Amino acid sequence: MSLVNATCIEKTYQVGDISVRAIRGIDFTIDPASFVSFVGPSGSGKSTLLNMIGCLDPPTAGSLTIIGQDITIMDRKQAAHFRGEHIGFVFQDFNLIPVLTVFENVEYPLLMVQNWPTKKRKARVNSLLEAVGMGDQGNKYPRQISGGQKQRVAVARALVTNAKVVLADEPTANLDGETANRIISLMKKMRDEFGTTFIFSTHDPKVMQSAEIIFTLEDGKLLKRRNDNGGTND
């Protein structure tokens, strides 16, 4: 069973009297435990597509199912609950809360969405921090750690709710090459360990080279899919 299944999805924005078709009737499927990249020039629709998969912005038309749930029929409250339970996010600027410690940043989604008992919550956060190599940094604040360490914390935060899908929008953009490679390797390790699907929007060749499937977008259309063996499907 596919984890993500899009059928003829579209997204149109109204800008004054002008309708802008950001996504133009595309179809794709993504399997569980996949490492997938959406690539294309700026304005091609990558971020719009991630916002739809992330239940932040519903499609204008078509069907989009995630983990067997049709998110196009959810209201805002239902979409927010589904997002909190099943979807994690990793951003290029990390989006850590500066007044919270590393531990508290990772814990935050559990406090906001899932009412976990304190003991279980602390054990979950500590296990994720250990998994991403930040087990001894929990009491530090974001200003006290490096960019690569911040992104490790962001990965832990994305996984803390047992998310089935992690969406990463240009996650290596603010990292040097060596650190970017380490973060990519960490994400693959997390995929292998937890069975999480990682979906990227990226311009970074390092991320593209690591992806098992690459979807190419241009002007809101899906041009082709390339598998990790070099094969293509138009």
Residue with tokens 């914390």: 153
pLDDT of residue 157: 95
Residue 228 has a pLDDT of 59
3-class secondary structure for the chain?
Answer: CCCEEEEEEEEEEEECCEEEEEEEEEEEEECCCCEEEEECCCCCCHHHHHHHHCCCCCCCEEEEEECCEEHHHCCHHHHHHHHHHHEEEEECCCCCCCCCCHHHHHHHHHHHCCCCCHHHHHHHHHHHHHHCCCCCCCCCCHHHCCHHHHHHHHHHHHHCCCCCEEEEECCCCCCCHHHHHHHHHHHHHHHHHHCCEEEEECCCHHHHHHCCEEEEEECCEEEEEEECCCCEEC
- 213-229 pLDDT per residue, tens: 999 999 999 986 776 55
Alpha-carbon span 139 to 156, nearest angstrom: 15
CATH architecture of the domain 32-62+73-233 equals 3-Layer(aba) Sandwich (3.40)
Residue 130 has pLDDT above 90, yes or no: yes
pLDDT at residue 10 above 70?
Answer: yes
* Amino acid 233: pLDDT: 54
- Please give the C-alpha separations between residue 90 and each of 22, 154, 166, 228, in angstroms, as whole numbers: 22, 6, 7, 23
Condensed to tens digits (0 to 9), the pLDDT of residues 165-203 reads 999 998 998 899 999 999 999 999 999 999 999 999 998
Listed by start position, the domains of the chain span: 32-62+73-233
pLDDT for the residue 72: 92
Q: What is the Cα–Cα distance from 98 to 1, expressed in whole angstroms?
A: 40
Would the pTM count as exceeding 0.85? yes
Residue 69 pLDDT > 90, yes or no? yes
At residue 186, the pLDDT reads: 93
The contacts of residue 210 (CB under 8 Å, 6+ apart) are 35, 184, 188
| pLDDT higher than threshold 60 for residue 234 | no
